[in-house]
Chain A
């Protein structure tokens, strides 16, 4: 049974299976967990939404290797203005929502997500989606701080983060 995570801890890692010449796909490993947030999202939904997961996974691979992280493939403005938190586009008749942070067309950080209950109007009405979304908001905030301080830089190719990619609650305070 996967335990829920709390607090702003984690390390950015580049998912080599999905990344390519068009975009790099990152996710986050939470200390004490053996899988990334994106893998956890797969595990949590594999039994009920296998076909949606396959579609999401293939779209992410196409973004990394063929088409890049164009704005049109995402549902934008899922966080606070300017923080890049978004969701991979999900059709109203699909159930799964996957949150991410997008940095232009070349970098995406995958977080977690979950099934969208049909009865809710805002993500805050669903605790699981709220937790996943707010984690990324906080992560985006920390990354922005480090970019400002130059503790994190974009690589020359624009395809990678460089620098201190590990986050703890106590950092940046």
Chain B
């Protein structure tokens, strides 16, 4: 079976080279934003006309333009879309970066993660909350290339909290985590 012929074009390269990286990034972000809006419409089980109705608009070509990845949205339009689609399009909250250390068994993992973001990568096992901090604990943890540990072993592993907290705060945080750990059904 023949494979398709690869073709490298200097004409296309020249054209790509004539655009600044800022312009290209803007075009790409507009397309990503349009994709996010389209996903949000589908997630609600809506058609484009439902979005129009929710926004009290009647011209279908408006939505087509929004979804085309070429539209330069006003902030007000994005706020309206956020409201009706119940999705975050404009992120106004600054998430402080904090360092968290969680040691378990013979491993110690130190990562810099934004607050509220998941630390681990696999199946969600439970969620702990401590004040405004929420951590999702996941079953198959493979940090530092180690073998996944089992959930039963995982429960007793947590021993420390935020590194930039004092030792006392870290201990309190750890106790909080352990006491508030709620396994998912």
Give the B-binding residues of A (Cβ under 8 A): 11-18, 24, 26-27, 29, 35-36, 38-39, 42-43, 50, 53-55, 57-59, 61-63, 66-67, 70, 72-73, 89, 91, 153, 160-165
B12 and chain A: residue at smallest CB distance: A17
Give the A-binding residues of B (Cβ under 8 A): 1-9, 11-13, 15-16, 18-19, 23-24, 27-28, 31-32, 34-35, 38, 64-65, 67-70
Task: Determine whether the beta carbon of B27 is less than 8 Å from that of A163.
Answer: no
Task: Determine whether the beta carbon of B7 is less than 8 Å from that of A16.
Answer: yes
* Interface residues of B, dominant DSSP: helix
Query: Could you show 30 A-B contacts with beta carbons less than 8 Å apart?
Result: A15-B12, A16-B6, A16-B8, A17-B13, A18-B12, A24-B4, A29-B7, A35-B9, A36-B9, A39-B12, A42-B12, A54-B19, A57-B12, A57-B19, A58-B16, A59-B69, A62-B27, A62-B69, A63-B31, A66-B32, A67-B31, A67-B32, A67-B69, A70-B38, A89-B68, A160-B4, A161-B4, A162-B2, A162-B3, A163-B1
* Interface residues of A, dominant DSSP: mixed
Chain A residues whose C-beta falls within 8 Å of the C-beta of B28 in the assembled complex: 58, 62, 66-67
**Least Cβ–Cβ distance between B21 and chain A, in angstroms:** 10
Interface Cβ pair total, 8 Å cutoff: 111
A164 and chain B: residue at smallest CB distance: B2
Cα(A78)–Cα(B121), bound, Å: 44
Which residue of A17, A54, A66 is within 8 Å of B31 (Cβ)?
A: A66
